[in-house]
Structure 1
Amino acid sequence: MAIAGFIGTTIEYYDFFIYGTAAALVFSHIFFPALGEVTGTVASFATSAVAFVARPLGAVVFGHYGDRWGRKGTLVTTLLMMGLSTVAIGLLPSAAAIGAAAPVALVVLRFLQGLALGGEWAGANLLTAEYAPNGRRGRYAVFPQWGGAIGFGLSSATFLATDAVIHNSDEAFLSYGWRIPFIASALLVLLGLWARGTIAETPVFRAADTTPRTSPFAGVVREQWREVLLCGGLTGVVFALFYIGSTYLTAYGTATLGIERRTVLALGIVAAAVVAIFVLLGARLSDRYGRRTIIIATGGLAFVWSLTLFPLLTTGSPLAFGLGLAGAFALNGLAFGPVGAFLPELFATRYRYTGAGVGFNLGGIIGGAVPLCSPRC
């Protein structure tokens, strides 16, 4: 069960993150060439932020089905939606070929990616958390949390391999190289569908009373709205740390600091390994000291780190850039590790999928969409 959750979230996050990497590296040239370098980059990040607005809606829609009819079927649907949207982006003609229809279609497909991921996270975590024994839920729930780290590392590795195959040719990379990671997602989705086809519904859901009283979303808003806001605030910090590292710093390193694309992508792979290590550390510490304690303590450390990040980056050194990237991801992993167990624990079973998903993705708007809308600040 834990492995099935891990495989599924890794694929979904891979699909989601390759968009962020492409937005940082090429989308300004492919879909917004008439806007110029700076404005085109801002437009690229704005399309990336569209997904964060869609994610709470995806949590409501898929949370409804997940709470009413089960986790398994809902997660198969989100995986298919994400995979098809990602492959379609890889096949999308450029603005030079079809004009304004290209960026419009890009925004629509990014919105669908956001819907899918909005319904993915809560369901994948419930699959593992609801199977976990008491006292070890943090350790078990870490598997879907690893999906974010591995998905980001895999996305960076795929772009790096593509760059190597086309011999670091900017012309070839802009023409077709960037499309390869998107189209290759089709193979990963088949793997994910196989993994999810082998799982059974969680015993907690099978034992729960799911007789319709009201919609899960209406129920969670009426009875546990405070918990939703708490989740949004806590996860907003987690999201900010991750997306500043994975998307903002990728663009900053290449465009502002002038670091080679291959170097930035390679450092992204190292940073993904850092996340994976600290996600496990955070999860294990949360079983011992409490989820909230670890998350709040990490927020304090993040404030201190934020004061040193840009003085470090302005040295222009690739080593300093790598240290800044690793610091962001280490703090993200430390806070993200407990989240997979903490959020589901706050909500009643009959609307746990919806409540955890909406709270988590509300944090995505706070910590993910807002920083990405202003990459040149």
Structure 2
Amino acid sequence: MSHTTTPADGTAAGLEAAAEVPRGRVITASLVGTSIEFYDFYVYATAAVSVFPLIFFPGDDQTTALLASFAVFGTAFVARPIGSVLFGHFGDILGRKVTLIGSLLTMGIATFLIGLLPTAFQIGLWAPAMLVVLRFCQGLGLGGEWSGAALLATEYAAEGKRARAAMWPQLGAPIGFLLANGLFLALVIGFGHDSTNPDHDGAFLNWVWRVPFLLSIVMVAVGLYVRVKLEETPVFQRAIANDTRVKAPLGEVFKRNWWELILGTFIMYATYVLFYLMTTWILSYAIGKTENGMLGVPYAEFLVLQLIGILFFAAFVPASGWLADRFGRKPTLLTVSALMVLFGLSFGLWLSAERMGTGAGLNVPLMVAFLAVGMALMGLTFGPMSAVLPELFPTNTRYTGSGIAYNVSSILGAALTPFLAAWLVKEYGVTYVGYYLAAASVITMIALALAPETRHTDLDGVTSARERRAASV
């Protein structure tokens, strides 16, 4: 279609144009964008473990350098709630489409510039300082990306199929991971990089690590092309037509939906903890030196195992959408969270060096089984979130509210997780990392128990907990 609906177009013609947008275009726009965003994020996460401690935080203490790299990694999670407020404001006032384009550009340009940074060996402390700034910008972009893509999917979805429609942007996470880490794996193998005995003068640490960051600009161009051709969502068009938008979405959501913000934050909490344990932390634990209590597996060998595990993540995201539509959001997520508690309590049985083996003696089938179970649970808990969080908030603050809940949760559940897990291994052993996951899952179960079931919620009629209580009296 040649017609592009503008934020000011709330007429019947605009609504009709939005309704006629092919379903495939909506799926592509939500999936491609989040795949690119998560690719950018994972490229950094992988480099934060295997590259940045060596070139931005050089020193004799490997653990200290890794913790410093993880601290910068966490900077993006501080930026993400700010991004959700910034992009959420424009998304609730101007529309989902234009805001999604802005978030994509912010994330993509920051990632590209990381690939151009000089190292600490070249300009000293200025190098990690600039890395922090660009990492912050990555967080701003992702803070606005997820909620916009989730709204794009849910606000176009057919009745009774919102969770299945909303799982498409969630698939961007495993796809982005596969792209980012698959490319890193190819480069590591192609240039003979050995993480257990890195060559500081070799090609990989000198320039090859930059390639995944620089290539992101090509993917951004593809994402822009898809999103520019998109129409505004029918639900937002109706908000325009009915004149229900507000001038200050942030103030409105804190005034009317503060309870939903709290619930959404903690509903998402355990999902974040699980994901960053199964991606960033497990990579550092697997490739870390055995004298530091880790497994000493070569980076390239373990990355192959991680890529196998991610396939289980991708496979169970669609399953989660079907389950959430069939049985409801709460029963599905409560069951998965209970399984996550059990999984966390079993960490010591899976991952102890005595049982798992180290270096060339790694028990590969056991590690693959651990990754498969963890990633399957990740798919089941992550898949419904792009329906659950938007369903908690009314249209005029939905972008802001769902984004804040999702990204504040990222501070609690993701920013601290790799750092805290690395510290727990050093001080108490790997079993306590599992206890951390189990505790997080219990917290999420409490939030789910207190939340309403939103499977049959009319997105045009969402109110607040206070208003629902008043209406029931």
Contact kept, 8 Å, 2:92 with 2:245, in 1: the verdict is: no
Structure 1 partner of 2:91: 66
Counterpart check, 1:347 vs 2:378:
no
Contact 1:83 1:185 in 2 (8 A): yes
- Asked whether the equivalents of residues 246 and 396 of structure 2 are also in contact (C-alpha less than 8 Å), the reply is no
C-alpha displacement at 1:211, in angstroms?
5.5
1:137-176 equivalence runs, <5 A: 137-168=162-193, 170=198, 171-176=202-207
Distance in 1, matches of 2:223 and 2:55, equals 30
1:271 aligns with 2:309: yes
Q: Which structure is higher in helix share?
A: 1
Checking the alignment, whether the CA contact within 8 Å between 1:122 and 1:356 is kept in structure 2 is yes
Q: Distance in 2 between matches of 1:211 and 1:65?
A: 15
Distance 1:208 1:273 in 2: 39
- Find the counterpart in structure 1 of residue 458 from structure 2: none
Contact kept in structure 1, 2:111 and 2:213, CA below 8 Å: yes
Query: What TM-score, normalized to structure 2?
Result: 0.78
Which structure carries more relative contact order (alpha carbon 8 Å, separation 6+)?
A: 1
Q: Decide which of 85, 99, 113 is 2:124's aligned counterpart.
A: 99
Indicate whether 1:246 and 2:284 are aligned.
Answer: no
Q: How is 1:121-200 mapped onto 2 (pairs within 5 angstroms)? A: 121-168=146-193, 170=198, 171-200=202-231
Q: Deviations over 1:158-210 (max 9, x none)?
A: 10111122134643222222111111111111111111111111111011045
Structure 1 residue 325 displacement after superposition? 2.1
Q: Secondary structure at the match of 1:376?
A: helix
1:152, 1:246 within 8 Å by CA — same for their partners in 2? no
- Cross-structure match for 2:232: 201
1:215 and 2:248 equivalent?
yes
Q: Confirm or deny: 8 A CA contact 2:93 2:246 kept in the other structure.
A: no
Distance 1:58 1:223 in 2: 21
Matched, 1:310 2:348: yes
CA RMSD in angstroms, aligned pairs only: 1.3
CA drift of 1:319 comes to 2.7
Indicate if the aligned counterparts of 1:79 and 1:116 stay in contact, CA closer than 8 A: yes
Mean CA deviation greater in 173-182 or 198-207: 173-182
Gaps of 5+ in 2: 1-25, 289-293, 358-362, 425-473
Displacement after TM superposition at 1:36 (Å): 2.4
TM-score, L = length of structure 1: 0.97
Aligned amino acid, residue 252 of structure 2: G
d(CA) in 2 for partners of 1:202 and 1:213? 18
Q: CA deviation at 1:372?
A: 2.1
Structure 1 letter corresponding to 2:405: G
Take 1:354 and 1:48, find their aligned partners in 2: how far apart are those partners? 24
Q: What is the distance in 2 between the residues matched to 1:362 and 1:278? A: 25
Going from structure 1 to structure 2, the CA distance change for 1:120 and 1:328 (only over 3 Å counts) comes to same
1:262 to 300, 303, 307: 300
Q: Where does residue 283 of structure 1 map in the other structure?
A: 321
Alignment-mate amino acid for residue 383 of structure 2: G
SS in 1 for 2:257: helix
Partner residue, 1:233: 266
Name the SS for the 1:91 alignment partner.
coil
C-alpha spacing 1:211/1:35, structure 2 compared with 1 (3 Å): farther
Structure 1 unmatched runs, 5+: none
Letter of the 2:326 counterpart: R
CA contact (8 A) 2:84 2:140 kept: yes
* Cα deviation digits, residues 294-350 of structure 1 (max 9, x gap): 112111111100111233112222332222222221111101111111111111000
Q: Which residue of 1 aligns with 2:330?
A: 292
Identity %, equivalent residues: 43
SS at match of 1:184: helix
Structure 2 CA distance for aligned equivalents of residues 145 and 212 of structure 1: 27
Deviation at residue 370 of structure 1 after TM alignment: 1.5
